[in-house]
Amino acid sequence: MNRITTHFLFPMALCMSVSSQAQEAVWDTFHGQLNAQKYSPLTQINLSNVDQLELAWEYHTGDVSDGSGDLPATVWSATPVYANDTLYIGTPFYRIIALDPATGDEKWTFNSHSVLEALTQPALKNRGVAYWEADDPVSGEACQKIVYLGTMDARLFAVDADTGSLCDDFANNGVLDVNQWNDTNDRWPLSLLQPPTVTGDHLILGWAGKDWASAEAPPGTVFSLNARTGELQWTLNFIPEEIRQRTGTANVWTAMSVDEELGLVYLPVSSPSPNFWGGNRTEEIPLATSTTAVDIETGEVVWSRQWVHHDLWDYDPTSAPTLMDITVDGESIPALMQATKMGFLFVVNRETGEDVWPIEERPVPAGNVEGEVYAETQPFPTKPEPLLDQASKPEIWWAADVLGFGECSRLFDSLSYDGMYSPPTTEGEGVLAYPASAGGVQWGGVAFDPVSQTAIVNTSHITQYLKLWARDEYEQIAGDSGNEVGFYPQEGAPFGMSLHNAVNWLGMPCWEPPYGELVSIDMHTGEVNWRRPIGVSQRFGFYMPERMGSPTIGGPAVTAGGLIFIGASMDAKVRAYSLESGEELWSDLVQAPVVANPAVYEHDGKQYVAFIAGGNTIIKDQVGDQIAVYALP
C-alpha cells in the first residue's frame, strides 16, 4: 500500500492572517475565535488580582439527568457564546437560553421540544450553539442575527438572536432536517451535537454517529449551508464513493477552525468504521483520520494530512486545529497545530500543509488478525515532543498493585504491547491501549498566546485494554457498554470488541500517575516550557494528592493578563494558572466537572470568566446544570 502524505495544492496568495483575529476581544464561537486560539486580549483580571475572583452570578438550567430516572444521563460540554451583548447557552435538553452577561437574568428561552432519547450516544449531549449576524443588520427586521441549535435527531434550529423566535425564512419555518441527506447506510440519524462553524454567510456542519456499533455506517460528510436560508451550498465526502457502502463515518463530529483571509476551513476528520478492524476497508481512504483544509466557497480540498494510516485504534482528532502565526529560526510561519488522542502535536504550515518541524514516517508493528492489513509506517512529529511516553508499557502504580493483591501486575503481564501502535488482537486478555481512545487531548484543544507565542494544552494519561472477539464468541460473552468502556458489536465485521480501563477491583488506576497534565510549549522552538499535574483525582469521596493530577476533558483559555483558565478535572474545580510559570493562582468548586472550554468576555467595561459545570461520565459519575460566572469584586 502507498503510505505517503496526501496533498492537494491550489495556488493562493501567501498571507499572515490570524494575528489580527487573535487580538479582538471576542468569544463568539466554540473555541472563542474562528482560529481556535481560545485567547482574550483582556487584562482587567491579571496576575496581581486573580486571587480576588469571586462568583458574580450563577444560573441553573434545570436540564440535567443522572440517568437514574426515565431520561438518559446528560453530558454537557457547551462553551458559552458571548455575542449581541448576550450570553447564549445550548442545553442537553436541546433548549437555547439567552442571558444577561452581567447578571445572569433570562432574556428569553427557546425549546426545540426534541425527543430526549440517546439515539446515537450513551447520553444526552450538547456542545452549545452557534451565532451569526448580517454584515449590515437591518433595524426592525427579524433574523438579522441568528442563533443555531442542533439536536441528536438531526434537526438544526435557527432562532432570532434578539427574541428567540424561529426564523421563518430558514429551511422549513426555521427548522432544517439534515437527515434528508442521510442516504447511504442509514442506520442512525446524523446527530448535530457540535454547533456549526459560522464563517461569512456559511454554516459549515458536521455530525456525530454511533461509535463502535457497526462496520457499515453513514459515510462522513460535511455540509455547507447558507446561514440565512439553510440552502445547501456544497457537500464534501471523505470516503471514496466505491467503498462507501461497506464502511462509514470518517466524519467531522468536533469543532472546526477557519482562516477567513485564506478562505479555508480546517476539518479534523475522524476514523472510518469499524474502528478496531479494517478488513472491510483495505483500500486507501486518504482523508480519514486527518486534518483537511477546504475552500470555504467551493468545498474543494486544498490540502490534507493524514495522521494515522489505516486507523485501527479510533485515534481520530478530537478538536479543531489551532491556527497560529509563529516565528521559527527567524522566519514567520502561518502555522496550524493539530492535537491528537495519541498525545502528538502535529505542526504544519496552514497554507500548504507542509511540515514546520519534520514529521517522520516510522515503522510500526503488524498483527495477525484474519482479514486485516497493517500500515507499515505511521507519522511521528519530531517537535513538539509527545505529551506522554508511548514507547513502552506504563509503569505499574505500586499502591494499586499492593491493594489489588497483585491484580495490576497480572493484568499487565497478560497484555501485549509493542508501543502505541500495537495492533488489536484476539489473543490472551488483548492489547494494552496506551494512549487510549479516551486519553491524550480531547475536544478542548490547544490554546495559544500570540504575544509570547506559547501553546497551552492539557492531556490525560489513560490506560485501557482492548480485545477483539470472534463473532460467535462475542455473542456469548458480550456484556454492557458505558461511556467509552464495555462491549461493542462492530456489527457486520467478523469481530466484536471490548474496551476496559486498566484498574484494580477498587477502581484504582493500575498505571503510575500523573493522570493529567497541563503543558506549556514555546512555539519558537517547539520545546516544552513547563508541565505540571492538573486537578485532583477523586473517587468515593476521597481526594488523591495534587501531584497525581486528574484525567481531564475540556480545554484551557489564555488571556493577555498572563493567565490560563481551565476546569476539565475530576474534582469539579475551576482554576487559574500563571501562563509564564504554571503556578496555580486561584480555584473554586463548582457543581460538576467542567468538561467544556471557559469563555472570557467583557461586558459594560467589566471582564468575566464563564464556566459550564455539566460533567461527563467518562471521568466521573457527576452531572450538573450550572453556569458559573466570575469577576473581580
Q: Active-site positions?
A: 314
Q: Please tell me whether the peptide bond between 384 and the residue prior to it is cis, using omega within 30 degrees of 0.
A: yes
CB 337 within 8 A of CB 446: yes
Sign of CA pseudo-dihedral 146, 147, 148, 151: negative
Round to whole Å and give the CA distance between 225 and 58. 35
Q: For residue 354, give the 3-state DSSP assignment.
A: coil
Round to whole Å and give the CA distance between 61 and 70. 18
Beta strands in 320-479 (DSSP E): 322-328, 331-339, 345-349, 359-363, 377-381, 431-433, 447-449, 454-460, 464-470
Q: Residue 42 — φ and ψ, nearest 5°? A: -70, 145
What DSSP letter does each residue of 54-98 carry, written as one string? EEEEEEE-S----SSSSSPPEEE-PPPEEETTEEEEE-TTSEEEE
Provide the grid cell at 312: 485501527
Round to whole Å and give the CA distance between 498 and 496. 7
CB 3 within 8 A of CB 309: yes
CB 249 within 8 A of CB 271: yes
CB 370 within 8 A of CB 470: no
Q: Residue 69 — φ and ψ, nearest 5°? A: -105, -140
Other CB atoms within 10 A of residue 299 CB = 18
Q: For residue 352, give the 3-state DSSP assignment.
A: coil
